[in-house]
């Protein structure tokens, strides 16, 4: 090593030591704490949080976490995440299946034809979208509106659970097979589940047919109305 380089190194080391001594006098124990683990992503954090009592403090905080989700391949084709919408203190939460094309474009649940029918059902129940909260089992659109796959449902499950934990509604209505089977952890067909009260985490849950099914099978409208009358009755008594 040349004399010049030796003196330069000596100078840098002396300066560094002086800075460290200064910092120690200021009470710093160590200067650059090295992480002992890989940093945890927000989504991983949420997955961990589901098994612990921690809950994001607000729906906005949860939505921020969900907005970066890449837990399943649906993230690759989505235009917008459809997180959910409505009153975060709603007495009633309605849970659908997954966003369709229009929902994926707008980032808002039930804005297509099925959504228009859902609006009519809510109107008949004397409820508005602003009063209730509407979300889906999946937050991203499955391609060509195919059925949600088990791995997609499993990836999205913590988000739905956290939404329900934050809202703590008095009642839940599930729309269609997937939402009922997911929240009730059953394989029972929707035809058997609907019309009867069930429970999700102590919250009364009424499964009913999906509005998209009603568009194809208008004869299902009457049983849905029977189910909704039961919901209205409970809401008026609580």
When the beta carbons of 21 and 231 are compared against ligand URA, the nearer one is 231
DSSP 53-72: S---SSHHHHHHHHHT--SS
When the beta carbons of 25 and 220 are compared against ligand URA, the nearer one is 220
Q: How many residues bind ligand URA (CB under 6 A)?
A: 14
CB of 166 closer than 8 Å to CB of 56 = yes
Shortest reach from residue 115's CB to ligand URA, in Å = 6
Distance CA 192, CA 73 (A): 32
Q: CA dist 65 to 47, 70, 113, 141, 194, Å?
A: 11, 11, 29, 18, 33
Q: Report the residue from 69, 87, 136, 156 that binds ligand URA according to the rule CB under 6 A.
A: 136
When the beta carbons of 140 and 212 are compared against ligand URA, the nearer one is 212
Q: Report the residue from 97, 152, 182, 227 that binds ligand URA according to the rule CB under 6 A.
A: 97
104 is a site residue for ligand URA (CB under 6 A): no
If phi > 0 it is left, if psi is from -120 to 50 it is alpha, else beta; for residue 161 that is alpha
Binding site for ligand URA (CB under 6 A): 82, 96-100, 103, 109-110, 112, 114-115, 136, 212
């Amino acid at each position: 090593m040349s004399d010049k380089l030796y003196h330069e190194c000596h100078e840098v080391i002396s300066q560094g030591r002086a800075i460290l001594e200064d910092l120690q006098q200021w009470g710093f124990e160590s200067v650059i704490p090295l992480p002992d683990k890989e940093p945890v992503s927000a989504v991983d954090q949420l997955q961990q949080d589901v098994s612990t009592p921690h809950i994001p403090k607000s729906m906005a905080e949860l939505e921020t976490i969900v907005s970066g989700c890449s837990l399943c391949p649906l993230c690759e084709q989505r235009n917008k995440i459809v997180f959910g919408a409505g009153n975060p203190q709603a007495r009633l939460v309605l849970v659908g299946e997954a966003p369709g094309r229009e929902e994926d474009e707008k980032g808002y649940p039930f804005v297509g034809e099925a959504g228009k029918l859902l609006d009519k059902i809510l109107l008949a129940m004397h409820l508005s979208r602003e009063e209730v909260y509407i979300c889906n089992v999946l937050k991203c659109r499955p391609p060509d509106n195919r059925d949600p796959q088990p791995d997609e449902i499993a990836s999205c499950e913590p988000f739905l659970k956290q939404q329900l934990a934050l809202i703590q509604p008095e009642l839940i209505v599930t729309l269609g097979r997937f939402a009922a089977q997911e929240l009730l952890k059953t394989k029972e067909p929707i035809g058997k589940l609907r019309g009867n009260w069930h429970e999700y985490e102590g919250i009364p849950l009424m499964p009913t047919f999906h509005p998209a099914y009603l568009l194809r099978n208008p004869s299902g409208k009457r049983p849905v109305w029977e189910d909704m009358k039961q919901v209205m009755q409970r809401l008026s008594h609580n």
